[in-house]
């Protein structure tokens, strides 16, 4: 495993071999690359921060790090929720912020070639200008980068219809730990030549390869969305509605859930007039053409009513639909107004969503803590947000025990400790409990084969 | 690399440790497991053929092979088109034919758990009984097995809408070369815990792991399909129509092409009254509900007419739609009536389909051979079928040079030598030309890390 740190000789080598590279060595600059959005995790201060603009610079940085045995932390926009890109003490952080060119929008082949530093929302906007659609939409899409999305195989609201980030990747250009540069594919929709390095590297959080360019799948822009919201007297009823929507063959663009605690926090923040006494709310969006959307939402509404919804409402226009969607996206920030928030990311088989929601309630009661749960019910991915008193010295301890209970509950239901945020460093000690020692050994063998010095983001993903 | 062969001592060990295992040692039985559907490839005679019924037997077989250093060829239904499961001289073939139980159909979570020996059509039929749909549909679906589909990441007609086999896999149970048994996931739609071994193993043709069980994604059964066919005076016009359909946001269930040579062969076989003078025919299917299907096919028809289609026809009923689909599926067999057929499987970015079609014509003219081309135009995957005189001693040489020209043409267009059939042994010498030496080194490193003895299907996929 790599064990050296950034030294003056290392800095000197970078400056000599990459005179045009922006390299940050001041403490203040390094500090600003220390943390991500998992504020409660321990972090290290990077020994230096490199901001390459071109692939060739990344190749050379990797070679220099190999020579000096210095670990590399690849970093996107710093909005991660798993401690996957937080600083390692004395290591080199490569921030891909400045590799932010959209290289090509290929309308004929419905794909875009982009550098990894491009912010998700900017990519969406750029392709929307030519009536195309990039589907993956993490709640943080206005601040997260494509490179980070690739690292974590990021999800979001509309994965229930369009899949996670991996499902939109046609090809990657990556730098391997030995400094070689590989293109894992092309613009082909089908290609079975050899192992799919594309699929393996997406979601590996920079531990196997550094992504320097990606070719991503686009779709023709769908119509503006229509929205249905439904309120339920019990969590079970909401869970039944989710199942009924899926088994009815309705395939909405989003299928989101909020529990009572979250409904109230969102309503306090946005004054939307939500049903504050409901146990749960579902938000269903359709992006089909007008008449088909009406039909789709009518079927979803029937499923909700059949499952016991007390109230259902449809957005009257695009502005109202936008407002509802923004409210859901802002759930985490609404909860953040109430205290120090720790967001979790469990997922379970869809039929177990009601069980998971009940387990969260029981865990909150057992530890006498506040937990607001919201998330992507349509694909079984829930974000229980632990809301703690700010500055309470017990917070770290409470967080630990509540997390453990949540993870154990998810695993007992056949679920996962992370649906879309990643193992990073936050959940690394749970990977073996979920996957088992044999699977870890296989993952470790792949890691060692591709990065024998252990230079790429050590300690992340794998224990 | 493994170098031993099946010996009496090896057979003895298997019989002693797995007394209930069906083990074939007679020459006739071994001969019947020698070839797949790529009849022109050299093959070896297996030293023995094991037909396990349970995972535990596979684990024990892998352990015994490791002890005796005997290579293993995993085999499904033998319908492969890449020489991925053909016999290796003296090796053990594990035929998964008898592991043919459908373990569970989970309607609530829209998934099925199955052993690998189940025939694709049987799985489709079993889930259809409860109104569910397993999407992947290779043309050979009535004879190919799920295990083979997983090995090659098989495609088919409706990948253009539903993706390839990999896109329908939630989780695998696999035996690794060291005899460990791993479950790569569960029934979760989203799960980013660790590297995705699922995605890596699908498409690796038994060179990294042996699949003993798979959890596959299902969908509610779509309505019966409606069909449009359109005839074009030039290949370019058909290519333009394909592009126009995609960019119009029409997402048909299938979007298939046949060239003139294939149209005539199919029409000769089925007497469908096709336009025998057209340069190309497109078949477009919609599986949306009735009115939406009408709308979808109307938009596809407009795109075809706009691109210069001379005739367009809609199926009047389900029977007629079935007939057209069967005709397209039978294209390869229709061509086989005309001579000895070598089917290729190139794919190119969708916009390059007309270029690829023209390249095929030029190659046929240059070598004075007959090539019928058909395939999945909607995702750029074409099957040029080389039709040779039966028994001509020059066939092997001609096949080799025509293949080389086809592969070179596909690679020059940014394409791949195989879209859905696999590298197997048939295309192994082309992998490096497509992926480059650095990518091969990475794939080789993964292979060596997971199978250091080189026991699993040696010589396949990787050169």
Chain A: residue nearest B440 by CA? A194
Name the B residues in 31-90 with CB < 8 Å from any A CB. Answer: none
Give the Cα-Cα-Cα angle A351, A356, A360 (nearest 5 degrees): 165
Interface test with B, best of A195, A289, A348 (most B CBs within 10 A): A195
The neighbour count for residue A315, using CB atoms within 10 Å, is 20
Closest Cα in chain A, distance from residue B423 (Å) = 6
Q: Is A425 on the interface with B (CB under 8 A)?
A: no
Chain B: residue nearest A463 by CA? B194
A412 contact residues in B (CB cutoff 8 A): none
Three-class DSSP labels, chain B: CCCCCCCHHHHHHHHHHCCCCEEECCHHHHHCCCCCCCCCCCCCCCCEEEECCCHHHHHHHHHHHHHHCCCEEEECCCCCCCCCCCCCCCCEEEEHHHCCCEEEEECCCCEEEECCCCEHHHHHHHHHCCCEECCCCCCCCCCCEHHHHHHHCCCCCCHHHHCCHHHHEEEEEEECCCCCEEECCCCCCCCCCCCCHHHHHCCCCCCCCEEEEEEEECEECCCCCEEEEEEECCHHHHHHHHHHHHHCCCCCCEEEEEEHHHHHHHHHHHCCCCCCCCCEEEEEEECCCHHHHHHHHHHHHHHHHHHCCCEEEECCCHHHHHHHHHHHHCHHHHHHCCCEEEECCCECCHHHHHHHHHHHHHHHHHHCCEEEEEEEHHHCEEEEEEEECCCCCCHHHHHHHHHHHHHHHHHHCCCECCCCCCCCCCCHHHHHHHHCHHHHHHHHHHHHHHCCCCCECCCCCCC
A462 contact residues in B (CB cutoff 8 A): 194
Q: Which pLDDT does position A2 carry in this prediction?
A: 55
Interface test with A, best of B173, B190, B245 (most A CBs within 10 A): B190
Cross-chain CB nearest to A380 (options B189, B204, B348): B189
Question: Could you tell me if A72 and A14 are in contact, meaning their C-beta atoms sit under 8 angstroms apart?
Answer: no
Which tokens belong to A58? Answer: 């990344």
Interface test with B, best of A80, A105, A167, A193 (most B CBs within 10 A): A193
Across the interface, whether the CB atoms of B187 and A349 are under 8 A apart is answered yes
Give the Cα-Cα-Cα angle B256, B261, B262 (nearest 5 degrees): 40
Name the A residues in 315-344 with CB < 8 Å from any B CB. Answer: none
Cross-chain CB nearest to B191 (options A197, A202, A419): A419
A420 contact residues in B (CB cutoff 8 A): 190, 192
Question: Could you tell me if B378 and A219 are in contact, meaning their C-beta atoms sit under 8 angstroms apart?
Answer: no
Q: Mean pLDDT in chain A?
A: 95
The neighbour count for residue A317, using CB atoms within 10 Å, is 10
Chain B: residue nearest A419 by CA? B191
Q: Is A217 on the interface with B (CB under 8 A)?
A: no
A422 contact residues in B (CB cutoff 8 A): 192
> What are the extents of the domains in chain A?
8-95, 102-220, 226-412
The rounded percent of chain A whose pLDDT value lies above 70 is: 100
> How many residues does this entry show for chain B?
463
Element (H, E) at A292: helix A290-307
B349 contact residues in A (CB cutoff 8 A): 106, 108-109, 186-189
Q: Which pLDDT does position A306 carry in this prediction?
A: 97
> What CATH number should be reported for the domain whose range is B8-95?
3.30.43.10
- Using CA atoms, how far residue B202 sits from B156, B198, B243, B291, B450, in Å, is 16, 6, 29, 37, 15
Across the interface, whether the CB atoms of B446 and A450 are under 8 A apart is answered yes
The CA distance from A420 to A343, in Å, is: 12
The CA distance from B1 to B11, in Å, is: 21
- Residue A50's DSSP bridge partners are A23, A94
> Does residue A26 have a pLDDT over 90?
yes
Mean local confidence (pLDDT), A197-201: 98
Which tokens belong to A232? Answer: 């339920």
Q: What is the mean pLDDT of each run of 10 residues along chain B (463 residues)?
A: 87 98 98 92 96 98 98 97 97 98 96 98 98 95 97 94 97 98 97 98 98 97 92 94 89 94 93 92 92 91 97 86 80 91 96 94 96 95 96 93 98 98 97 98 98 98 96
Q: Which pLDDT does position A1 carry in this prediction?
A: 54
Question: Could you tell me if B18 and B94 are in contact, meaning their C-beta atoms sit under 8 angstroms apart?
Answer: no
Which tokens belong to A127? Answer: 């392709």
The CA distance from B48 to B25, in Å, is: 5
Which tokens belong to B61? Answer: 């077989």
Asked if the domains at A8-95 and A102-220 fall in one CATH topology, the answer is no
Across the interface, whether the CB atoms of B380 and A192 are under 8 A apart is answered no
A-to-B residue pairs, Cβ atoms closer than 8 angstroms: 260
Chain B: residue nearest A179 by CA? B438
Q: Which pLDDT does position B2 carry in this prediction?
A: 55
Torsion over CA: A115, A119, A121, A122 (sign): negative
> What CATH number should be reported for the domain whose range is B226-412?
3.40.462.10
Which tokens belong to B278? Answer: 């057209």
Cross-chain CB nearest to A191 (options B243, B419, B439): B419
| Rg for chain A, CA atoms, rounded | 22
SS3 B234: coil
Which CATH code, of 3.30.465.10, 3.40.50.1370, 1.10.3720.10, 2.170.8.10, is assigned to B102-220? Answer: 3.30.465.10
Cross-chain CB nearest to B350 (options A189, A195, A461): A189
Mean local confidence (pLDDT), A321-346: 88
B448 contact residues in A (CB cutoff 8 A): 449
Q: Which pLDDT does position A38 carry in this prediction?
A: 87
- Residue A95's DSSP bridge partners are A75
């Amino acid at each position: 495993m790599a064990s050296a740190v950034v030294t003056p000789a290392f800095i000197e080598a970078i400056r000599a071999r990459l005179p045009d590279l922006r390299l940050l060595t001041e403490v203040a600059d390094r500090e600003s690359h220390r943390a991500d959005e998992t504020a409660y995790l321990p972090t290290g201060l990077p020994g230096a921060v490199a901001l390459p603009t071109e692939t060739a610079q990344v190749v050379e940085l990797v070679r220099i790090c190999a020579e000096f045995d210095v670990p590399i932390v690849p970093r996107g926009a710093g909005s991660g929720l798993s401690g996957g890109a937080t600083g390692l003490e004395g290591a080199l952080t490569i921030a891909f912020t400045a590799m932010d060119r959209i290289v090509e929008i290929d309308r004929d082949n419905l794909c875009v070639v982009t550098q990894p530093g491009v912010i998700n929302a900017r990519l969406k906007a750029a392709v929307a200008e030519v009536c195309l659609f990039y589907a993956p939409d993490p709640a943080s899409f206005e601040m997260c980068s494509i490179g980070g999305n690739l690292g974590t195989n990021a999800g979001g609201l509309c994965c229930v219809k369009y899949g996670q980030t991996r499902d939109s990747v046609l090809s990657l250009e990556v730098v391997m730990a030995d400094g070689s540069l590989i293109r894992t594919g092309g613009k082909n929709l089908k290609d079975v030549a050899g192992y799919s390095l594309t699929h393996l590297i997406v979601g590996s959080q920079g531990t196997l390869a550094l992504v320097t360019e990606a070719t991503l799948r686009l779709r023709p822009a769908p119509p503006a969305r229509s929205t249905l919201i439904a309120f339920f007297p019990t969590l079970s009823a909401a869970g039944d509605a989710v199942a009924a929507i899926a088994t009815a063959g309705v395939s909405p663009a989003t299928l989101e859930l909020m529990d009572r605690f979250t409904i109230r926090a969102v309503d306090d923040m946005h004054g939307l007039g939500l049903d504050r006494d409901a146990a749960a709310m579902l938000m269903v969006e359709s992006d089909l053409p007008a008449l088909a959307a009406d039909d789709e939402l009518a079927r979803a509404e029937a499923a909700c009513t059949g499952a016991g919804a007390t109230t259902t409402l449809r957005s009257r226009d695009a502005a109202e639909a936008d407002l509802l969607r923004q409210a859901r996206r802002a759930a985490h920030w609404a909860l953040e107004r109430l205290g120090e928030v720790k967001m979790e990311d469990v997922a379970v088989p869809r039929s177990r969503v009601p069980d998971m929601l009940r387990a969260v309630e029981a865990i909150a009661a057992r530890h006498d803590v506040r937990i607001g749960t919201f998330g992507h019910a349509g694909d079984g991915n829930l974000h229980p947000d632990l809301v703690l008193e700010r500055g309470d010295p017990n917070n770290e301890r409470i967080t630990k025990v509540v997390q453990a209970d949540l993870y154990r509950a998810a695993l007992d239901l056949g679920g996962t400790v992370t649906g879309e945020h990643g193992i990073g460093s936050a959940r690394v000690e749970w990977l073996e409990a979920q996957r088992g020692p044999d699977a870890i050994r296989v993952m470790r063998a792949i890691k060692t084969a591709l990065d024998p010095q252990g230079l790429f983001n050590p300690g992340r993903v794998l224990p």
